[in-house]
Amino acid sequence: MRSDVDLSHPESERYKVTFEEYKLLLDWTNKLADRRQATSNLFFGVNGALLTIIGLAMAQLNDLERFVFISFSTIAGGIVSLVWASLLQRYQEILKFKYTHLALFEEVLGLDASGLVTAEDNFFHRGIPLQLEGKKVKLDPPKKAGKFGITLAEKTLAQLFLITFILLFLLSVALFVHK
């Protein structure tokens, strides 16, 4: 980002170039957020399929086959869940960097509180009501402010799958040992 942008002349070439850089970064950030959502959808589907297969195997296999199959399946599911949680953490770090960079662009461009990222951050994460200049619109923020990026529900879902696979593994071991 250029620190020498002349804010007093929005029609200047440097301002226009910086604004184009801002729009490009905003587009990249939106695409990254979409990719993160697609990644979560994929991992949710894989974990759901593994649990379905494990459920079907419970009734179809004999004790030893069931133990071996469920053991390997739950270990695979645990690894998938750990990879998912790790990717969510990485996406959160990258998105936080990009949102911070966008907010800096908005400050340099003179957009400040009217800028998309700054307004969203103020509304959702700082609890500042949204007011549109020149309009009689006031929108109160959600009762509970949160973090930018990855939702708590996504992180919790990855952790719940991991816990489910661990419990299924332990159940499989206990059933095999007690027979």
pLDDT in tens, the chain (179 residues): 545 555 556 778 888 888 899 889 989 988 998 999 999 999 999 999 999 999 888 888 888 888 999 999 999 999 999 999 999 999 988 988 888 888 888 888 877 666 677 777 666 666 666 666 655 556 665 566 555 456 778 889 999 999 999 999 999 899 888 87
| DSSP conformation class of 138 | E
Residues whose CB is less than 8 angstroms from the CB of residue 69 and which lie 6 or more positions away in sequence, other chains included: 54, 57, 61
63: how many CB neighbours lie within 10 A of its CB?
Answer: 10
